[in-house]
Amino acid sequence: MIDFNRHVDKWIGEGIITAEQAALMRSSLAGESPPPDQMEAPESRIPIVTEILGYVGAALAIWGVLFLTLAFWANLSDWAQAALFGVLAIVFFAGGATLLDTPEPALERLSGVLWTGSLVALGGALFTALDPIAGLSVPLTWTVIGAVGSVVGGLMMRRQQTVPQHVGMFASILMTIVSLIALGPEVEFFVFGLAVWSFGLIWVLVTRAGVVPPRVIGMLLGVAAMFVGSVMTAGEGDIPTFGVLLGLATALLLAVAGVMLKEKLTIVLGGLGIFVFVPQAMFHFFGEAFGAMFGMVVAGLALVGLAIWFGEHREAL
């Protein structure tokens, strides 16, 4: 029972299950009947149909606006173009708000998608208005869009902690950081890569600490930013030594940290990075033919080693 409780607490922390689901699992294992207010009603097909209709309707609305305005978009005033995006943002926000606090998981997911669509439409309205109307430069325009999206996305996250909201806030903050760098004096492209990598590391740490749930999507986004940032440090042309070493070190640290912390997701992400960056490192340091073959051998052996370790320690994870 102790091991079961430890795993359940870990699942709650990672956002895999909710506290209510954990209580039901513990009650079921103990042979107790869950309280009437926690007993799940028979699953209905109506919420699923509603969710699908909502997705299709949102997609049709977006494409409808695009196609209807494509022919006469150039003839519309800047304010009219911004207003179209603004109306779309309001409609999506209102639709998502009406579905808040629903007990149906399908409707909750639909609410998150609609609110994320509202955030995207808001960005479109700002982009259409700030550049031609306010006369802002492109970097400043994207900075404002990212800052507004970060604030609005953060408020949405406080109200509803779903995957779409998490992705929207992540993208908005990252856009703000990159745009702020572009506002300053001209810098080398690898500076943007370092900024993206650093932001990914911070996002991994705050997500793992439970500050920004859900944990799994936060880990995925943060590690992806670290890997992309490593590649971005290359700039144009072949990947330089720094970019190779940064990506390889990131992958190895993730694998080691996952083993030490006994976290499957971190181990898998580290293994993926090893698969990507080890061949690149061998190619960079040892040449085309030898590097490619030797890199595949090293990456393959590393992944086999992780698989063996998984098999021997699966009960501990």
219-237 pLDDT per residue, tens: 999 999 999 998 888 755 4
pTM (2 d.p.): 0.70
pLDDT at 39: 45
Distance of CA 192 to the CA centre of its chain: 19
Give the mean pLDDT of 286-312. Answer: 60
Q: Mind listing the pLDDT tens digit for each residue in 37-47? A: 444 444 444 55
Top-confidence range, 134-138, 155-159, 231-235, 303-307: 155-159
Q: Name the nearest CA neighbour of 145 among 160, 158, 129.
A: 129
Range in 70-74, 174-178, 210-214 the model is least confident about: 70-74
Distance of CA 103 to the CA centre of its chain: 24
What are the tokens at 191? Answer: 């500076």
Q: Mind listing the pLDDT tens digit for each residue in 16-61? A: 777 667 777 777 766 554 454 444 444 444 556 666 776 777 677 7
Give the chain's mean pLDDT.
78
Q: Tokens 């091991």, residue?
A: 3
3-state SS of 172-228? HHHHHHHHHHHHCCCCCHHHHHHHHHHHHHHHHHHHHCCCCCCHHHHHHHHHHHHHH
Burial 161-184 (b: 16+ CB within 10 A, else e): ebbbbbbbbbbbbbbbbbbbbbee
Residue bearing the bigger pLDDT, 144 or 315 = 144
Residue bearing the bigger pLDDT, 11 or 209 = 209
Q: Where are the domains of the chain?
A: 1-32, 46-186
SS3 104: coil
Residue bearing the bigger pLDDT, 308 or 28 = 28
Residue bearing the bigger pLDDT, 266 or 51 = 266
Percent of all residues in the chain with a pLDDT value above 70, rounded to a whole number: 72
**pLDDT band at residue 294 under the 50/70/90 scheme:** low
Whether residue 307 has pLDDT greater than 90: no
Q: Tokens 């990947």, residue?
A: 239
Top-confidence range, 65-74, 209-218, 262-271: 209-218
